[in-house]
Structure 1
Amino acid sequence: MKENVFSLQLSVIRKVTTCLILLVTFHLLLVTALAGASLTSVHAQGFNVASSHEITDKEAVSGDILIYDGANGLVRTNVTYSQKIFGVYTETPSLVIREASASAKPIIRLGDVDVNVTDYNGEIKKGDYVTTSPVSGKGMKAGQSGYVLGLALADAVYGDQTVTAEGGNYRLGTVNTALRIEYAELTTARSNIKLLSDLNAAFFRSVQDPEKFTLTIRYIIAGLVALLAFAIGFFYLARSISKAVEAIGRNPLARTAIITSVGLQVAATLIGGVVTIGIIFIIVRI
């Protein structure tokens, strides 16, 4: 009788234990499924954390790229591949750390965020690096090594709105970007064509400011004077040395006089260089 009761109790315990194990397993599977769905949703929508800062540039809008410009604070920039990139201003952050100041705005430095861009350097495709452009606050496709904002997670979407920059019209749009502010070493280095493009952009900006334009013209004239003086001095000095060598070969007895003549020529060239420096200084300081 006792053995039957013991067997019955053991059977009940086994069944209860089996039920508990099944319940625990089901619970774990349910939690795992929900967590996976939650993570997938977060990844699809993009997640970012913003901190609040005072934005000096009052014309900045959500999605604009901001730089930290020392005494000027957080402002937009029209400098390509800016080394001062700080982050992206957004009005819809996933999570924001607020400051005591009510006027502070959320700025994202890490995470996924929609960035305002242009097609200044071509349309931005998924996987392209995004950097600053000549359009204030807007990004562009990075086509060379330099500082970048991050990596495009999708193709940029452009609208009908355009903006004028450096004599051309470019479309405005947005692109979802994974922020990672760093120096990116791309396969296309800074070439001579890009250097000329940068010089052209700098000259175009100076034309818009009369004072800067005048100063630019002075520097150009000073550079031309320096180049011309160097070319003339080098030409006559090289010719004098060549003729001196030939003269010494023909008349070794006149060696001392010939070397003295070359020395005077070198001295004259140095004096001409000093005079040129003085002329350049006067041109720049006028």
Structure 2
Amino acid sequence: MNIYQEKNVKILRTPILLVIAAVGVVSAAVVFSAVTFAQSGSDMPNSVISQGYESKEAFATGTLVSYVGGELVASSTQNSTKLLGIVSGNDLVELNTGQVQVATVGIATAYVSTVSGAPKQGDPIAPSPLKGVGMKAETNGYIVGIAQDDFSAATNIYAADIKDKNGTTTTVEVGLLPVRIQVSDYSISDDVVSPYPDFIMQIATTVAGKEVPVLRITLALVILLVGMVIIGLLIYTSVRFSLVSIGRNPLAAGSVRKGLLGAIFLAVGVLVFMVASLYLVLTV
């Protein structure tokens, strides 16, 4: 390498580093923001909204309730289509006072049983034959929300007896478990076991503000992978082309530098487009 080539290579180091630094900083900012956002969402378990309802009977905090014929009643498999929410305590955000408060948004503690097996984190919770108590959903129907922990972490556990259609008595366990309230008509065929780590599911859920289907998360990860590959190729090809060009024509440093600046804007543009696409896939 002669003195002109060495000088021009040194001149090119700044724009080359700018390309790498710009993409690196923006990528780090996106990842940091997503993780911080997810952590802040997981640190807000009491961000619950409850609505007051008139009731002729008292309900324990954590009871699943339905609204039938203008009255608040304990939920069961018989009135699951009228499912309303979970009876909450007074430490939540209340829209009315002096009435039974029913949590309809957020994460609340609910009575859950082992009627259909011990629920695990991520399982949909539906009304059970036990009045006011939920269970892991096994069939299509209305659910109150999604379990946020395994039943092994439940508190205030007690035993309860239920009878099946044949009159056989079975003893099950009932305990308090955190549930993300998401009253909806659930289809068991839509329940796909996630192959992804919990932190990825948490980030997707926090960004979207709702449970995100596995297929959407898969599409988002594909977009992320393709975007990072494109950005990596842009950096590699622009740097390689610049060094080769300087080696062949030392006087072309100015033009090469402009090309590198163009690569900076192009790489950042791809990154911005990728982030916007990820957001749309997860939220729309």
TM-score (norm 1): 0.47
Q: Return the structure number with greater relative CO, CA threshold 8 A, min gap 6.
A: 2
